[in-house]
């Protein structure tokens, strides 16, 4: 009897150990972007230049019922001529598997700066829009979106 | 894979100086590489990675897409009318496959 008990306990411990190993090896696959990662991406792009207070109109739902299709609308007031135009707009999400969502490259030929698309949100998180002007200035806007059913296949 | 179909909406006539809105949609699953199929196998990543709009051959607008863009990428953008011409739209999939659409516009 004593011998049997002694074999049982190590096996349970072994199982617990194994499941722990399995769980920890799965975590790297499920790593998500964090506000820090988004902040480091933004500092990478801005390269130390300051973010000015140019207004960005950013429209997203406050609560997204389905994170698979979330509409995002942004507009930036800019004359969009050769001397002054918005060059690039980056969209980041700080709770998705990767922080980058999309990068929009504008040209003066468009006459206005703005775009609409649909994105995935895996959970409730902040969406950040960073705009780069042709003169090197940056502008930023962010909004929090509550997600009830996440996207990103998980 | 289901057939990829690109759809674009551009008004047929516009006046010079007017800023028009162009709506584009391409039916594409945008597999992020994270989802699994019914057998638990990972579906390999396959997304539309870039979209470009050209007017009379000159690129006017370009978007780099990441897996966080929803399936069936829908993109709306403005364009200032200066002359009549032809729009070409190009979507590039992972692996380099291209899908295209084009529209003509007249001056009203």
Task: Note whether residue B101 is domain-resident.
Answer: yes
Q: Whole-angstrom Cα distance, residue A124 to residue A127?
A: 10
Question: B63 and A103: CB-CB below 8 Å?
Answer: yes
pLDDT at A74: 96
Mean pLDDT in residue range A12-24:
52
What total number of domains does chain B contain? 1
Mean pLDDT in residue range A36-50:
88
- A76-108 exposure pattern, b = at least 16 Cβ within 10 A, e = fewer: bebebeeeebbbbbbbbbbbbbbbbbbbbbbbb
And the tokens for A15?
A: 């199982």
Predicted complex ipTM exceeds 0.90: yes
Closest to A140 (Cα-Cα) out of A42, A37, A59: A42
pLDDT at A47: 86
Question: Percent of chain A at pLDDT above 90?
Answer: 55
Task: Note whether residue B92 is domain-resident.
Answer: yes
Tens digits of residue pLDDT in B70-86: 999 999 999 999 999 99
H or E stretch covering A40: helix A35-46
- Let me know if A42 is exposed, middle or buried by CB neighbors in 10 A (0-12, 13-18, 19+): middle
**Interface residue B58 vs chain A (CB under 8 A):** yes
List the Cα angle A74/A78/A79 in 5-degree steps. 145
Phi-psi region of A4 (alpha: psi -120 to 50; beta: other; left: phi over 0): alpha
Query: Who has greater pLDDT, B101 or A35?
Result: B101
Q: Whole-angstrom Cα distance, residue B85 to residue B38?
A: 47
Task: Note whether residue B41 is domain-resident.
Answer: yes
H or E stretch covering B61: strand B58-65
> Looking at the predicted structure, is the pLDDT value of residue A4 above 60?
no
Q: What length is written for chain A?
A: 154
Task: Note whether residue B62 is domain-resident.
Answer: yes
Question: Percent of chain B at pLDDT above 90?
Answer: 84
**In terms of residue numbers, what domain contains B49?**
6-107
Task: Note whether residue B1 is domain-resident.
Answer: no
Q: CA–CA distance from B87 to each of A147, B2, B56 (Å)?
A: 37, 26, 6
A81 — phi, psi (to 5°)? Answer: -115, 175
And the tokens for B68?
A: 């966080």
* B61 contact residues in A (CB cutoff 8 A): 104-107, 110
DSSP state of B4: P
Tens digits of residue pLDDT in B16-45: 999 999 999 999 999 988 888 889 898 999
pLDDT at A11: 59
Q: Categorize the per-residue pLDDT at A23 as very low, low, confident or very high, splitting at 50, 70 and 90.
A: very low
> Average pLDDT of chain A?
82
- Chain A interface disruption, residue of B68, B74, B82, B105, most A CBs within 10 A: B68
SS3 A107: coil
Return the CATH superfamily for domain A32-147: SoxY domain (2.60.40.2470)
Task: Note whether residue B42 is domain-resident.
Answer: yes
Tens digits of residue pLDDT in A81-139: 999 999 999 999 999 998 999 999 999 999 999 999 999 999 999 999 999 999 889 99
B56: nearest CA partner in chain A: A109
3-state SS of B75-93 is: EEEEEECCCCEEEEEEEEE
Say if strands B74-80 and B19-26 run parallel, antiparallel, or are unpaired.
Answer: antiparallel
Query: Residue B24: which CATH number?
Result: 2.60.40.10
């Amino acid at each position: 009897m004593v011998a049997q008990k002694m074999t049982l306990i190590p096996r349970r411990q072994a199982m617990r150990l194994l499941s722990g190993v399995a769980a920890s090896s799965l975590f790297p696959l499920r790593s998500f972007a964090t506000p820090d990662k988004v902040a480091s991406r933004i500092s990478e792009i801005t390269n130390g230049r300051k973010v000015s207070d140019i207004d960005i109109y950013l429209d997203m739902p406050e609560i997204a019922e389905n994170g698979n299709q979330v509409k995002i609308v942004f507009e930036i007031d800019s004359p969009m001529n050769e001397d002054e135009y918005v060059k690039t707009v980056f969209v980041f999400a700080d709770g998705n598997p990767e922080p980058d969502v999309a990068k929009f490259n504008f040209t003066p030929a468009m006459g206005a700066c703005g775009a609409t698309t649909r994105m995935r949100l895996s959970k409730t998180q902040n969406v950040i829009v960073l705009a780069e002007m042709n003169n090197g200035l940056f502008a930023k806007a962010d909004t929090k979106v509550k997600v009830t059913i996440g996207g990103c296949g998980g | 894979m289901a057939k990829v179909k690109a759809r674009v909406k551009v008004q047929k006539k516009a006046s010079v100086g007017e800023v028009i809105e162009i709506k584009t949609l391409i039916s594409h699953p945008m597999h992020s590489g994270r989802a699994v199929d019914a057998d638990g196998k990972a579906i390999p990543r396959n997304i539309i990675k870039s979209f470009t709009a050209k007017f009379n051959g000159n690129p006017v607008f370009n978007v780099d897409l990441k897996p966080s863009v929803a399936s069936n990428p829908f993109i709306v953008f403005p364009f200032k009318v200066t002359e009549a011409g032809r729009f070409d739209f190009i979507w590039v999939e992972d692996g380099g496959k291209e899908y295209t659409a084009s529209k003509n516009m007249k001056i009203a």
